[in-house]
């Protein structure tokens, strides 16, 4: 037959494994090799114009002793710890609210997911207009309500809350994952708890949350790491790291060292510090999961 014409000596399992070859090649070329080169470059002085010179661990020392590096780490953690849990909790509560089938609920579900498919640059530029202190719709609404509107992105006090507020609208992926997990919860469990006298809060606390805990934990893993590593575009377009370095994050420090100062060795060292911090976040959350007796095996997700 035609489907067995090519590579007839291979089994079906081997044919399926061949489908993974393009992905493996892509991961090797775009992830593994750049990571190895970056790690090696962290031990050299290199400006992209002259040959690399051995520096040992000096690049790590230069990055660690830079006051802007320490400030960027603090700002990055502040923009991770607060919004990550708010986004996951918001996605879960919205999924719980829109779990039932209804005539208009499909439209609401699409509205929740829509901001997540907007390109990051377009989303940041839209919020740059919303946060405009003079004619932005948010400040016009606050003034109409009789409140004193803040200067948002031009005020160091309000710059971080503005970035956090913007990020809370992109919860579509977590919303879909939570909604899919909630749909798999057997309705008999909720019915039995309701018959036993449990209210809506009791069902949520004693039935839904224990079953959803592994899913929510994975969402926290994912959201924390992605927020840490992919916040550069929106911050670059909206604040440029300001005002007064209020939104100066670690990815921005890496970009500045590499492409403004041409200190690629220091940028590579800072990049691996960011990878290490991402690993520490995962380890911390794993320890929390173990303390809560939340499993992370495949069997844990069989609801």
- Mean pLDDT, the chain, rounded, equals 83
113 vs 170: CA distance, rounded Å: 8
Mean pLDDT check: name the lowest of 6-20, 129-143, 277-291: 6-20
In a domain, 179, yes or no: yes
Quick one: average pLDDT of 253-280? 89
Helices and strands of the chain, counted as H and E runs: 16, 2
Q: Is the pLDDT of residue 300 over 50?
A: no
CA angle 223, 65, 160 (to 5 degrees): 35
In a domain, 55, yes or no: no
Q: What is the pLDDT of residue 99?
A: 82
Q: What is the pLDDT of residue 6?
A: 52
46 vs 269: CA distance, rounded Å: 12
Strand partners, 54: 44
Q: Is the pLDDT of residue 43 over 80?
A: yes
Cis geometry, peptide bond prior to residue 261 (ω within 30 degrees of 0) = no
Q: Is the pLDDT of residue 217 over 80?
A: yes
Q: CATH number of the domain that 285 lies in?
A: 1.10.3720.10
Q: Is the pLDDT of residue 215 over 70?
A: yes
Q: What is the percentage of the chain residues whose pLDDT exceeds 70?
A: 92
Q: Dump the DSSP string for 98-136.
A: T-S--TTHHHHHHHHHHHHHS-HHHHHHHHHHHT-TTT-
Full residue range of the structural domain in which residue 260 is found: 67-301
Quick one: average pLDDT of 277-301? 67
Quick one: average pLDDT of 147-153? 89
In a domain, 136, yes or no: yes
Q: Is the pLDDT of residue 1 over 80?
A: no
In a domain, 4, yes or no: no
Name the burial class of residue 167, with classes exposed (0-12), middle (13-18) and buried (19+) by CB atoms within 10 angstroms of its CB. buried
18 vs 28: CA distance, rounded Å: 16
Quick one: average pLDDT of 271-288? 82
Note every long-range contact of 199-208, with CB atoms under 8 Å and residues 24 or more positions apart, other chains counting.
204/96, 208/96, 208/182
Q: What is the pLDDT of residue 78?
A: 87
Q: Are strands 53-54 and 44-45 parallel, antiparallel or unpaired?
A: antiparallel
In a domain, 5, yes or no: no
54 phi and psi angles, rounded to 5 deg: -60, 135
Quick one: average pLDDT of 155-170? 90
pLDDT tier at 303 (50, 70, 90 boundaries)? very low
Quickly tell me which residue has 């946060």 as its tokens.
131
pLDDT tier at 301 (50, 70, 90 boundaries)? very low
Quickly tell me which residue has 């039995």 as its tokens.
192
Which letter does DSSP use for residue 243 in this model?
S
What's the total number of domains in the chain?
1
In a domain, 3, yes or no: no
In a domain, 20, yes or no: no
Q: What is the pLDDT of residue 5?
A: 54
- In this prediction the pTM is 0.80
Q: What is the pLDDT of residue 241?
A: 87
In a domain, 2, yes or no: no
């Amino acid at each position: 037959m035609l489907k067995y014409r090519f590579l007839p000596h291979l089994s079906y399992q081997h044919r399926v494994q061949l489908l993974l070859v393009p992905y493996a090649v892509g991961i090797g070329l775009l992830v593994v090799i750049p990571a190895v080169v970056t790690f090696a470059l962290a031990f050299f002085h290199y400006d992209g114009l002259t040959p690399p010179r051995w520096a040992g661990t000096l690049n790590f020392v230069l990055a660690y002793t830079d006051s802007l590096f320490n400030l960027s780490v603090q700002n990055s953690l502040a923009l991770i710890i607060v919004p990550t849990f708010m986004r996951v909790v918001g996605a879960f509560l919205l999924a719980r609210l829109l779990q039932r089938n209804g005539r208009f609920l499909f439209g609401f579900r699409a509205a929740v997911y829509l901001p997540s498919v907007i390109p990051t640059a377009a989303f940041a530029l839209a919020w740059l207009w919303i946060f405009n202190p003079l004619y932005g719709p948010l400040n016009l609404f606050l003034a109409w309500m009789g409140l004193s509107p803040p200067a948002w992105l031009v005020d160091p006090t309000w710059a971080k809350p503005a970035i956090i507020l913007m990020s809370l609208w992109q919860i579509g992926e977590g919303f879909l994952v939570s909604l899919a997990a909630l749909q798999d919860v057997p309705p008999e469990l909720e019915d039995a708890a309701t018959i036993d006298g449990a209210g809506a809060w009791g069902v949520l606390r004693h039935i839904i949350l224990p079953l959803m805990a592994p899913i929510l934990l994975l969402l926290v893993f994912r959201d924390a790491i992605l927020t840490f590593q992919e916040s550069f575009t929106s911050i670059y377009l909206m604040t440029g790291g300001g005002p007064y370095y209020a939104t100066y994050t670690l990815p921005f420090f890496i970009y500045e060292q590499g492409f403004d100062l041409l200190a690629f060795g220091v940028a590579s060292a800072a990049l691996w510090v960011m990878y290490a911090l991402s690993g520490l976040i995962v380890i911390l959350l794993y320890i929390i999961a173990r303390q809560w007796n939340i499993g992370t095996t495949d069997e844990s997700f069989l609801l």
